[in-house]
């Protein structure tokens, strides 16, 4: 058994024996070098209550090269691509060190969810959303946690604003339903309106800054 | 899942701190943070962090900082840690003994139900360890105190376990690897490694011609001479007394004379790397090289200088030389009695190359079945080979190259031939088989 396999084996055993961290590592198939990690969303964040799964690929020169990780679960986070799940985290790139383990890396991902870095974004639209209106961003992140990561989501947390999150598409895009409706009545398709408003980051204080003409222009593109 | 069931010793072999305070932490502190194994040639760097010498060298080759604290450091800061090394070798023995004691203690506390608490893996592991312990106790037959402690269950378990076997495997890796030396077919090792049959070897004091520089050298000193790049062997060894070196230098001066003890041409290559009784010229670490500025020729020379094979392409040469320098230098961080010989290191290098190649090559176990299964492919390849014969294999089979690499030699000659030719061009082949290795070395 080569050193890499021995180390992976040890890391999985280590995770199994550690009951406190709540981090799990499972096999996808027979391959020991393609794994599935999972961890609960950190408390006190929009991700609380969700279970986040991560696709782990262990490269040939592990542990001297970083593991490749990306989210399987869709996450609304400035440093995670909302489309592909790709993660922007220094230790997965040039700040990797061979003493880091699968467990410690997954813990780092967990703490990345706690502390987004919008200035070094993976997903620029989400990062803009975060910068523009943190409250609105958090609503959307909570919604995503609810529908994709099995979190308790908006229902319990946001009784007061229940009306806001009834519409899936609008909530996923992190937009206000009223805005979407307004442009839809102008005769545009609902899906197109959502796309355009998302691209323009039509949220929070931006709503007053972006003129309706600008939105229509974007819609007619 | 079978790889998870494999028995890899790690700190969780010991009970949690609540049951056995300190043992897990102790075992963990004896392990390298990079590979997770017990330190092999522990080496300390400037910041005081400790790793296996080979591990930290691999890491520094990529990034010059301490993996633990990220302080800038480099190869020059690596210092061997002999104190820790001896601690580790003692712990390797003590570990299984302690585990056996724990197992026994547990069995005594809960006579029948203890097994229920453990997973299948744990159970397997602890049984292994207890049996190895029994073997240990039985074969040492040493201090009466131990025998006394172990006595209640010794009789039955010792009779069921093959006793010296598990012990030698677990505790004495060196003897294990020397056993390998006899079982590994000589064709696995490059040509220079082949030890001549006892009868054919010249006498220790006989004069032989150095195959590299053609100077005449005492056979006994030949290896030292070659390893010293054919420079005058100063041989400051503890094994060679002054008398011998004086004699050799005199003989060198006088060597202009006739070839009284000359051997024929074939014989010259033999025994070039016969395992030496003196590793004294291996005391100095090899320098790290930047390969980008080197010409192919120079790189090849560097490999032959170290007695390494020159099979494969340039990328493989670079990797091979780099790895060789790494394991060679790491070996020097071990204390003298624990060091491996050059031949053992070369076997390690070979194993490393094989393991890297394995993911790219598919291993064919049942060659006969393989031939039946791939009959169509073979037939097509034969046709293709016949067609391209005229063009000197300028068009190589596109999709089948991966398969043909792993063809057994027992396959039809024409296929073997085509496999051979594509293997020569293929980048992903490290060593296809010994015959090709020999062929390409002669080229």
Three-class secondary structure assignment of B37-88: CECCCEEECCCCCEEEHHHHHHHHHHCCECCCCCCECCHHHCEECHHHHHHH
A65: chain B residues, CB-CB within 8 Å: 62
Under a CB-based contact definition with an 8 Å cutoff, are residues A79 and A120 in contact? Answer: yes
The number of residues making up chain B comes to 443
- CATH classification number, B11-171, choose in 3.40.1190.10, 3.10.20.30, 3.30.40.10, 3.90.180.10: 3.30.40.10
Residue B266: what pLDDT?
43
- Residue B5 pLDDT grade (very low, low, confident, very high; cuts 50, 70, 90): low
A12: chain B residues, CB-CB within 8 Å: 4
- Residue B202 pLDDT grade (very low, low, confident, very high; cuts 50, 70, 90): low
Listed by start position, the domains of chain A span 3-114, 124-220
- Residue B390 pLDDT grade (very low, low, confident, very high; cuts 50, 70, 90): low
The token duo for B95 is 């570990």
Q: How far is B4 from chain A (nearest CA, A)?
A: 6
Is A30 within 8 Å of B1 when comparing Cβ atoms?
A: yes
Is A1 within 8 Å of B6 when comparing Cβ atoms?
A: yes
pLDDT for residue B90 is more than 80: yes
pLDDT for residue B168 is more than 70: no
A47-56, A145-154, A191-200, B233-242: segment of lowest average pLDDT: B233-242
**Among A2, A65, A99, beta carbon nearest to B34:** A99
Tell me the angle at which helices B173-183 and B163-171 cross, rounded to the nearest 10 degrees: 100
> What residues of chain A, 71 to 110, have a C-beta less than 8 Å from chain B?
97-99
Residue B384: what pLDDT?
85
Instruction: Report the mean per-residue pLDDT for chain A.
Output: 87
pLDDT for residue B437 is more than 50: no
A14: chain B residues, CB-CB within 8 Å: 10, 12
pLDDT for residue B343 is more than 60: yes
Contacts of B207 (CB under 8 A, 6+ apart): B216, B217, B218, B219, B251, B255, B260, B261, B262
Is B35 within 8 Å of A5 when comparing Cβ atoms?
A: no
DSSP state of A33: T
A98: chain B residues, CB-CB within 8 Å: 33-34, 55, 58-59, 67
According to DSSP, the residues that pair with A34 across neighbouring strands are A57
B71: chain A residues, CB-CB within 8 Å: none
Decide which of B384 and B360 is more confident. B384
Q: How far is B34 from chain A (nearest CA, A)?
A: 5
**Among A7, A65, A97, beta carbon nearest to B70:** A97
B38-47, B66-75, B124-133: segment of lowest average pLDDT: B124-133
Residue B183: what pLDDT?
45
- Residue B220 pLDDT grade (very low, low, confident, very high; cuts 50, 70, 90): confident
- Residue B249 pLDDT grade (very low, low, confident, very high; cuts 50, 70, 90): low
- Residue A201 pLDDT grade (very low, low, confident, very high; cuts 50, 70, 90): confident
- Residue B190 pLDDT grade (very low, low, confident, very high; cuts 50, 70, 90): very low
- Residue B186 pLDDT grade (very low, low, confident, very high; cuts 50, 70, 90): very low
Q: Read off the pLDDT of each residue in B225-243 and give the average, rounded to a whole number.
A: 58
Decide which of B210 and B439 is more confident. B210
First to last CA, chain B: 45
Which of B314, B217, B331 has its CA nearest to residue B263? B217
Q: How far is B59 from chain A (nearest CA, A)?
A: 6
**Among B8, B33, B55, beta carbon nearest to A6:** B8
pLDDT for residue A138 is more than 70: yes
pLDDT for residue B159 is more than 70: no
Residue B319: what pLDDT?
87
B34-48, B203-217, B234-248, B289-303: segment of lowest average pLDDT: B234-248
Neighbours of B326 (CB within 10 A): 21
Is A99 within 8 Å of B8 when comparing Cβ atoms?
A: no
- What is the C-alpha to C-alpha distance for residues A158 and A135, in angstroms, rounded to an integer? 12
pLDDT for residue B147 is more than 70: no
Instruction: Report the mean per-residue pLDDT for chain B.
Output: 68
Closest chain A residue to B65 measured between Cα atoms?
A97
- Residue B238 pLDDT grade (very low, low, confident, very high; cuts 50, 70, 90): very low
Residue B416: what pLDDT?
43
Under a CB-based contact definition with an 8 Å cutoff, are residues B41 and B54 in contact? Answer: yes
pLDDT for residue B376 is more than 60: yes
Is B36 within 8 Å of A12 when comparing Cβ atoms?
A: no
Residue B127: what pLDDT?
45
Residue B243: what pLDDT?
56
Q: Where are the alpha helices (DSSP H) in chain A?
A: 3-17, 102-114, 124-132, 134-148, 153-157, 168-173, 177-184, 190-199, 206-209, 212-220
Which of B96, B90, B101, B84 has its CA nearest to residue B169? B96
Decide which of B312 and B38 is more confident. B38
Highest mean pLDDT among A17-31, B53-67, B275-289 belongs to B53-67
Residue B108: what pLDDT?
85
Which of B35, B151, B9 has its CA nearest to residue B91? B9
Radius of gyration of chain B (CA): 27
Catalytic residues of A: 88
The answer to whether residue A10 neighbours chain B at the CB level (below 8 Å) is yes
pLDDT for residue B9 is more than 60: yes
Ramachandran bin of B224, using left for φ above 0, alpha for ψ from -120 to 50, beta for the remaining angles = alpha
pLDDT for residue A157 is more than 60: no
Is B33 within 8 Å of A14 when comparing Cβ atoms?
A: no
pLDDT for residue B194 is more than 80: no
- Residue B242 pLDDT grade (very low, low, confident, very high; cuts 50, 70, 90): low
Under a CB-based contact definition with an 8 Å cutoff, are residues A51 and A57 in contact? Answer: no
Q: What is the percentage of chain B residues whose pLDDT exceeds 70?
A: 51
pLDDT for residue B357 is more than 60: yes
The token duo for B337 is 């009695």
| CATH code 3.30.40.10 region(s) in chain B | 11-171
Homologous superfamily (CATH) for A3-114:
Ubiquitin Conjugating Enzyme (3.10.110.10)
A109-113, B98-102, B127-131: segment of lowest average pLDDT: B127-131
- Residue B235 pLDDT grade (very low, low, confident, very high; cuts 50, 70, 90): very low
Helix, coil or strand: residue B373: helix
Residue B246: what pLDDT?
67
């Amino acid at each position: 058994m080569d050193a890499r396999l021995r180390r992976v084996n040890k890391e999985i055993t280590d995770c199994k024996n550690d009951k406190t961290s709540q981090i799990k590592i499972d096999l996808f198939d027979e391959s020991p070098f393609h794994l599935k990690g999972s961890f609960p969303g950190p408390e006190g964040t929009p991700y609380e209550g969700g279970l986040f799964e991560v696709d782990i690929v262990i490269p040939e020169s592990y542990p001297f090269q970083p593991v490749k990780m990306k989210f399987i679960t869709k996450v609304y986070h400035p440093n995670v691509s909302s489309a592909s799940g790709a993660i922007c985290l220094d230790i997965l790139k040039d700040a990797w060190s061979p003493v880091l383990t699968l467990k410690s890396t997954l813990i780092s991902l967990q703490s990345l969810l706690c502390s987004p870095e919008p200035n070094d974004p993976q997903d620029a639209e989400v990062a803009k959303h975060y910068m523009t209106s943190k409250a609105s961003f958090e609503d959307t992140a909570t919604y995503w946690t609810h529908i994709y990561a099995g979190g308790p989501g908006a229902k319990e947390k946001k009784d007061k604003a229940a009306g806001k999150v009834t519409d899936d598409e609008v909530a996923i895009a992190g937009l206000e339903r009223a805005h979407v409706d307004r442009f839809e009545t102008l005769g545009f398709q609902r899906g197109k309106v959502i796309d355009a408003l998302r691209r323009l980051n039509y949220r929070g204080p931006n709503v007053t800054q972006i003129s309706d003409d600008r939105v229509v222009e974007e819609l007619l593109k | 899942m079978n790889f998870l069931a494999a028995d890899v010793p790690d700190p969780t072999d010991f009970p949690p701190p609540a049951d056995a305070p300190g043992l897990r932490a102790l075992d963990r502190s004896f392990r390298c943070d990079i590979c997770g194994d017990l330190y092999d040639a522990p080496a300390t760097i400037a910041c005081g962090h400790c790793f296996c010498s080979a591990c930290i060298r691999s890491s520094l080759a990529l990034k010059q900082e301490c993996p633990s604290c990220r302080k800038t450091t480099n190869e020059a800061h690596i210092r061997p840690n002999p104190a820790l090394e001896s601690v580790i070798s003692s712990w390797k023995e003590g570990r299984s003994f302690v585990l056996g004691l724990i197992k026994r203690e547990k069995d005594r506390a809960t006579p029948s139900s203890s097994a229920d608490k453990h997973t299948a893996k744990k159970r397997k592991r602890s049984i292994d360890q207890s049996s190895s312990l029994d073997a240990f106790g039985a074969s040492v037959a040493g201090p009466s105190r131990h025998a006394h402690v172990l006595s209640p269950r010794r009789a039955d378990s010792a009779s069921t376990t093959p006793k010296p076997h598990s012990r030698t495997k677990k505790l004495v890796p060196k003897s294990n690897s020397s056993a390998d030396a006899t079982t590994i077919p000589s064709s696995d090792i490059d040509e220079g490694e082949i030890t001549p049959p006892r009868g054919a070897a010249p006498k220790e004091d006989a004069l032989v011609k150095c195959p590299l520089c053609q100077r005449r050298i005492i056979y006994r000193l030949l290896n030292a001479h070659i390893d010293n790049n054919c420079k005058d062997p100063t041989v400051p060894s503890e094994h060679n007394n002054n008398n011998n070196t004086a004699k050799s230098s005199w003989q060198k001066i006088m060597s202009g004379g006739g070839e009284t003890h000359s051997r024929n041409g074939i014989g010259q290559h033999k025994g070039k790397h016969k395992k030496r009784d003196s590793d004294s010229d291996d005391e100095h670490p090899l320098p790290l090289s930047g390969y980008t500025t080197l010409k192919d020729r120079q790189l090849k020379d560097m490999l032959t200088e170290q007695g390494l094979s020159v099979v494969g392409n340039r990328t493989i040469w670079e990797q091979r030389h780099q790895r060789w320098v790494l394991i060679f230098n790491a070996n020097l961080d071990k204390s003298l009695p624990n060091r491996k010989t050059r031949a053992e290191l070369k076997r390690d290098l070979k194993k490393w190359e094989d393991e890297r190649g394995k993911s790219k090559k598919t291993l064919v176990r049942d060659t006969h079945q393989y031939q039946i299964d791939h009959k169509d492919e073979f037939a097509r390849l034969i046709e293709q080979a016949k067609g391209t014969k005229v063009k000197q294999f300028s068009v190589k089979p596109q999709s089948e190259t991966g398969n043909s690499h792993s063809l057994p030699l027992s396959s039809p000659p024409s296929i073997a031939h085509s496999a051979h030719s594509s293997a020569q061009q293929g980048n992903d082949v490290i060593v296809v088989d010994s015959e090709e290795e020999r062929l390409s070395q002669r080229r």
